[in-house]
Amino acid sequence: MSAIRPATARTSLPEWRAVIDHTRTLAPQHLRDLFAEDPSRADRFSFEACGLFVDHAKQRITAETLVRLLALAEACGLESRIDAMFSGARINTTEHRAVLHVALRAPAGERIMLDGRDVVPDVHEVLGRMGAFAERVRGGAWTGHTGRRIRTVVNIGIGGSDLGPVMANDALKSYATPDLAFRFVSNVDGSDFVEATAGLDPAETLFIVASKTFTTLETLANARSARDWLVGALGTEAAVAKHFVAVSTAAAEVSAFGIDTANMFGFWDWVGGRYSMDSAIGLATMLAVGPERFGELLAGFHAMDVHFREAPLERNLPVLQGLVDVWNTTFLGSGSIAVLPYDHALRRFAAYLQQLAMESNGKRVTLDGATIDGYDTCPVYWGEPGTNGQHSFYQLIHQGTRTIPCEFIGFARSRRPLGRHHDLLMANVFAQAEALAFGRSADEVRAEMAAKGGVDESLVPHKVFPGNRPSTTILAEELTPHALGALVAYHEHAVFTQGVIWNVNSFDQWGVELGKVLATRIVPELEAAAEPPLSGHDPSTAGLIRRYRTLRGRG
Ligand code: F6P
């Protein structure tokens, strides 16, 4: 029997059909109509918790939409899935693992059991060691091999072992110690390592090798180059002990690499890579902002965890965000979501969210292995900070043929106040969301032209903004560590909610495997002295390998 079976479980639910039926009644209505019909719309669709104010009023939804989506969420068992995650059930079924990133931010004294063992003390034991280490490095007590204090920290990692710390270190730069500089190396392209270490003094450089598995090709290649760079400069392997620490779940691999496990900060297989920035993977962040601020970050995560677990679905922020995302993607057919933070410190937030959402829910089979046929799962996440994006791709969002739901993120106060800059920045957030929703009609265009001296009919269609382009605006007071934690947990749980409705395993990532396997096979074919037999490849790939070898003088 074929392993590929069509998935009918979701699409045959009456609640699923009810949402589809509802799209037909809503389709002809413009956001202008929806606002005109319901004066309380802004209040009705705005929600607040954990310091985040979330306004969905400019989404193409009505009260009835939410009723039907919430009924669907209940039919999909969302509440019991949330309970299952928090209670340590092995919901990552293909890897037989629990999914307990919420335990990473559980306060000491809380109990989260996995296989009869409370994992919270383990989390706090590592946090304590990280804190002690961070204080020593920040205070200059931890010195390099020659006795000089550490001035630069280089984090080597990729994917979840890079994107979270990169994003968080940028986001919290205004809280960071000026005594340490931070660089991040992720790409196996040697330029990344060469540029990140350019100008650094090896005697004052600390490498964090961050890898959950400690087998990732890119990270190990960069870590080996880092060791060669350091040992070459300091003249002895003994220097490794004072210039390398590891963050990993794999003590044996860390040891085999040559890093003393006394200098290793562990985490656990129940933490997915893309859910790990608040584990020891966040060591670079803790070194930057200190253990106390890192604790505030964790408290922000935890506040949102409690809200997600306890708030009723109809007032549950991550649940509503996840349902709105599903509504736009699966039921209204949008293929992407633009992530538009109006805070320069969140310049890497879209990249972070890309992995979180797309590696979690970019799936085409259900939890029980049936092929999804008949609905779309994860959209493409992309974005840039505002206002820069406005001068680049917003043209398409306003007037292109596709509808692209937008997520605006802004803060009431800047961490770097400068004259009127912040008001100018925030005026743009509100203006963009308004323009997207309401647009500008042909009559409005003509009236504006007439006021300026004459109507040029040929220009009217070009100047029309159709509007009815959905967005959510998330507003918080200030980008503090607590706010960042709440914002990230908000998205983690929204992604979880999406995954439950789409009926996929949000916690595995088999889709990254095949390319890795093929690359491993191709490396020796590129490097072989004699022409390798390339019969195992298709003609296109074999031709590219041959041409590469010729260009490298290996033909
Ligand atoms: O890209 C696949 C992946 O496994 C991600 O899920 C993960 O974040 C990344 O590689 C890095 O993995 P590791 O931390 O094990 O080096």
Q: What is the pLDDT of residue 8?
A: 57
Q: Which residues pair with 113 in a beta bridge?
A: 118
Residue 92 Cβ inside 6 Å of ligand 1? The answer reads: no
Q: What mean pLDDT do residues 169-189 have?
A: 98
370: tokens are: 């049936």
- Nearest atom in ligand 1 to the alpha carbon of residue 273 is 8
Q: What mean pLDDT do residues 120-132 have?
A: 98
Is the pLDDT confidence value at 125 over 90? yes
Residue 512 Cβ inside 6 Å of ligand 1? The answer reads: yes
Cα torsion angle, 319, 323, 324, 329, sign: positive
Q: What is the pLDDT of residue 1?
A: 36
Which of the four pLDDT bands, split at 50, 70 and 90, describes residue 244? very high
CB atoms within 10 A of CB 417: 9
| Percentage, residues of the chain above pLDDT 90 | 97
- DSSP-derived letter for residue 381 is E
Asked whether the bond before 550 is cis by omega within 30 degrees of 0, the reply is no
What average pLDDT is seen over the chain?
Answer: 96
Is the pLDDT confidence value at 425 over 50? yes
Q: What mean pLDDT do residues 239-244 have?
A: 96
Look up 125 and say whether it is catalytic. no
Is the pLDDT confidence value at 6 over 80? no
Look up 516 and say whether it is catalytic. yes
Residue range 35-81, pLDDT digits in tens: 999 999 999 999 999 999 999 999 999 999 999 999 999 999 999 99
Quick one: which of 204, 205, 168, 203 has its CA closest to 288? 168
User: Which residue puts its alpha carbon closest to atom 9 of ligand 1?
Assistant: 159
- Nearest atom in ligand 1 to the alpha carbon of residue 248 is 14
SS3 425: helix
Q: Which of 391, 452, 457, 513 is catalytic?
A: 391
Q: What is the pLDDT of residue 493?
A: 98
| Percentage, residues of the chain above pLDDT 70 | 99
- Nearest atom in ligand 1 to the alpha carbon of residue 218 is 16
Residue range 397-411, pLDDT digits in tens: 999 999 999 999 999
Look up 384 and say whether it is catalytic. no
Contact in structure between 269 and 97 (CB atoms under 8 Å)? yes
Contact in structure between 72 and 19 (CB atoms under 8 Å)? yes
Is the pLDDT confidence value at 538 over 80? yes
